[in-house]
Structure 1
């Protein structure tokens, strides 16, 4: 367990800033009703966004209060599953990493969606048209297609600096990333997990 002054994570689970300064903001040890399962809980505050990350580790030596390695972190850092095609994976990782630059994050999330659909053979027409086609082919649900129309995936507006298109904010970027992540789960992650489960 990292019981010093900071928690070394590659990115803040809240704002996704690289190499965050996560400062120890206090902690406590707990046990169950029989005095067993002793654990130490530490809170770490991001110096950039102020978000708090909670980490827990078992106490391996009760007398010395020695802590073992971290077993869980909340919220969990966002990770992109390895089952995604390389291009889509790279776009989605970059979208998550650039959430603080919403216009760029929206473009990257849209590019991830675009790449995933192309990987499934949907290459013609606009992005939203291909999403509709994916629903028609039952690659995704009708509800997912409707969701796509509710989020900012207007990468063309951003790339061409459409004067009538309002710039996306961080909430727009977050929703675009959530949709791209859900699409990845539906098209690649769940089929991969099913295949692995059947193989076992």
Structure 2
């Protein structure tokens, strides 16, 4: 029976997705092998460089073993899984954004748009808790007025469908363009609101210790 293992899929973004090994070849160093594996969620593949720690690398297609377990290590994976969550974003907000990305990659436009709006909704409430009962658009406008966001960010927010009530209850389903626009705005918002201030804070701390 073929060996199966869990890995974060770089294609559909599923964390701990089950992969089945479909093809393997040995390297000249018999402790090393490479294999092709397919994600059980999206059916797309990765190439894995694998190393046996104690002996010759066995055929993972002909033998089912605990992998990587204590006897193997995954040295490299192509394509690699890279988090697309901007640096410095609070964990809960990053989790909502990541769900939006997964839905976007899996072509669930309505679900993606809803998660990007939720990301913005929670983020703006954290940045401006006094106006948490306002609509998302109103909160963004007030963040612009306070100087937390640029005027361009505020103008951009009105060009895309991010106001929860209007978008979620629309009779027309969201499109790829709708979801992609929401993703781009959300990413820019997170970078401007969280990543850049965090970078400034880190640089100031470095200067203070020099």
Deviations 1:66-94 (A, max 9, x none): x8643565353435467334543343243
Aligned 1:6-155 pairs, distance under 5 A: 8-9=6-7, 11-17=8-14, 19-24=16-21, 43-55=36-48, 69-71=74-76, 74-78=79-83, 80=85, 83-99=88-104, 100=106, 101-121=108-128, 123=131, 125-155=134-164
Alpha-carbon distance, 1:20 to partner: 2.7
CA spacing shift, 1:144–1:173, aligned 2, 3 Å: same
- Compute the TM-score of the two structures, normalised by the length of structure 2: 0.60
Contact 1:44 1:53 (8 Å CA) reproduced: yes
For the residues of structure 2 that align with 1:132 and 1:17, how far apart are their CA atoms? 35
Which structure: larger Rg?
A: 2
Contact 1:88 1:115 (8 Å CA) reproduced: yes
Alignment gaps of 5+ in structure 1: 31-38
Contact 1:82 1:89 (8 Å CA) reproduced: no
Alpha-carbon distance, 1:116 to partner: 1.4
Residue of 188, 191, 206 corresponding to 1:182 = 188
Superposed CA RMSD in Å reads 4.2
Contact 1:132 1:145 (8 Å CA) reproduced: yes
How many residues are paired up?
187
Deviations 1:14-72 (A, max 9, x none): 22345434344657899xxxxxxxx9765544344343445567999xxx78x864356
For the residues of structure 2 that align with 1:112 and 1:79, how far apart are their CA atoms? 14
Alignment gaps of 5+ in structure 2: 58-71
